[in-house]
Amino acid sequence: MLQAVGLHVITVRNSDAPADGGVPSVSYDRLAEVLPRADWLLLACPLTDRTRGLVDAAAIARLPPGARLVNVARGEVVDEAALVESLQSGKLAGAFWTCSPTSRCRRTRPCGRWRT
């Protein structure tokens, strides 16, 4: 669907084998290679030992300035403190997610101020 609106899509998954529809893929171990080209980082992966903390401060630093992060995976896939810092500093232009690491994202917590 994203390709239909003109976006270039690369999936990051367990292997480099192309995803359905011939979408190019890289393994989780190669995530750092594609982050500098990601204006949008969409996370929709299961929470496993491999994906817990997948997007940490180092990963966010590799994203281009003004990138946006969308997390519809489990909250623990993203380092919440690094996410908050990147939003406060302006490194990321925005972040959207369905649950925080604790699934209790309130306005009193830093993440709650950016939740949409």
* Stated pTM of the model: 0.80
Q: Please name the residue that has the structure tokens 């489990």.
A: 74
pLDDT in tens, 28-74: 899 999 999 999 898 888 999 999 999 999 999 999 999 999 998 88
Reply yes or no on whether the pLDDT at 116 is more than 70. no
pLDDT in tens, 85-109: 999 999 999 999 887 665 555 544 5
For the chain, domains (ranges, CATH) are 3-113 (3.40.50.720)
pLDDT score of 115: 44
